[in-house]
Amino acid sequence: MFKRILPDRVKDILLLAGLLGFFILGFYAAGHYFTPGQNQTFSLEEEDFASSYPAPSSGPRLAHVTTESIPLQEKGNSTFYVTGPNRILSLPKWGGEQITVSSYNLLNKQMNHREMKVPSKTVFYSEGCFIWIDSDSAYMQNSADQDDYKHLIEGLYFKERLRLLTGSGVQIADLQEERITDVFYDRETESLYVSAQYNDQTAGLFHYQIGTRTLKLLTAAAYIDSFQVLPGHNVMYLNHGGLFLLDVHTGSAQQLVEGKVINFSVSGDGLKLVYTAVNERGVTELYGMYMDRSMAKEMREHSLLYSNLSNVQALEWSNDQVLCITRQANGSYQLYRFTLKSE
């Protein structure tokens, strides 16, 4: 019937108009439902979507965490060291003529205590050795079962350290008796790294070459609470809540983390950093960052790994895990084992 009524030219025009309207309707629907920035509805669940694509941050991510109690009876006067994948060492922060060294085996859950005679008040553990150090000298002991002390530093180097600090612009009249805050013994180079606090505004990080008996001031800062020597012998240190990376060749330091950092640890390969910090709500959290990425401030990615940790006592890498020791309100100790996802 239409063939008889409508000429062929009119039929072609109607057909083209219909096709054009179909395409206009299709483009409108696509723009309405899939415009970026608008709420979109997918049949895929949000959890599945998140697991199928990388996280927004390029920092480390947590795979899983386990916790267990540690049968320690300390009263907050100890320093903890992870001395192996399954061993934790506890030393008193201040010694006397004799101290008790506690060692806990994570595999068989056994705790051992040993008495040690000490040559000085301050004791540290580094690279399998006990380091005893004071203002004038330092000693090394390889085993808690022996009393064979090896002198690492002999003589009155206290005055030498003062001279180095005053050379960096610190007034000697402002300095008080030093308090050693951290020690690292470098077996490879037979040298000792020492941080010392002189007053409420002055601290120094020193490198002492044992063979040549030469002392070098690496940096001076307001505070150096703890430090870690990284592969390549650069040093990361904690300065009153801020985390800094020191280039020992140039002497320049850049701040990696601002805020209230409590503990930090860099993996053995120097590629991953974890640290605990207190957020604006007063909650202690665990963060991670890759060290092999750009160190430019705008390129750093700090990933939140875990929240609500209480009274962190120690944080250290052990192989591919991060071990964290916390002290609970009732005085007991808790061990967290964090495993990060592989890249």
Average pLDDT, the chain: 77
Higher pLDDT, 23 or 170: 170
Q: What backbone torsions phi and psi does residue 15 show, to the nearest 5 degrees?
A: -65, -45
Residue 82 in contact with residue 69, Cβ under 8 Å? Answer: no
Beta strands 110-117 and 98-105 are antiparallel
**Angle, CA 139 vertex, CA 133 and CA 140 arms, to 5°:** 120
Contacts of 333 (CB under 8 A, 6+ apart): 69, 70, 72, 74, 313, 325, 326, 327
The 10s digit of each residue's pLDDT in 12-69 is 555 556 655 655 555 444 444 333 333 333 222 333 323 333 344 567 888 889 998 8
CA distances from 258 to 123, 201, 315 (A): 30, 18, 18
Q: Please report, rounded to a whole number, the percentage of residues in the chain having pLDDT higher than 90.
A: 25
Rounded distance between C-alpha atoms, residue 169 and residue 31, angstroms: 65
Residue-level length of the chain: 343
**pLDDT class for 238, splitting at 50, 70, 90?**
very high
Burial grade of 157 (CB within 10 A; 0-12, 13-18, 19 or more): buried
Give the DSSP H or E segment for 8: helix 8-34
Over residues 239-265, the mean pLDDT reads 90
Over residues 331-342, the mean pLDDT reads 88
Residue 342 has pLDDT above 70, yes or no: yes
Which tokens belong to 230?
A: 């990284």
Tell me the three state secondary structure of residue 14.
Answer: helix
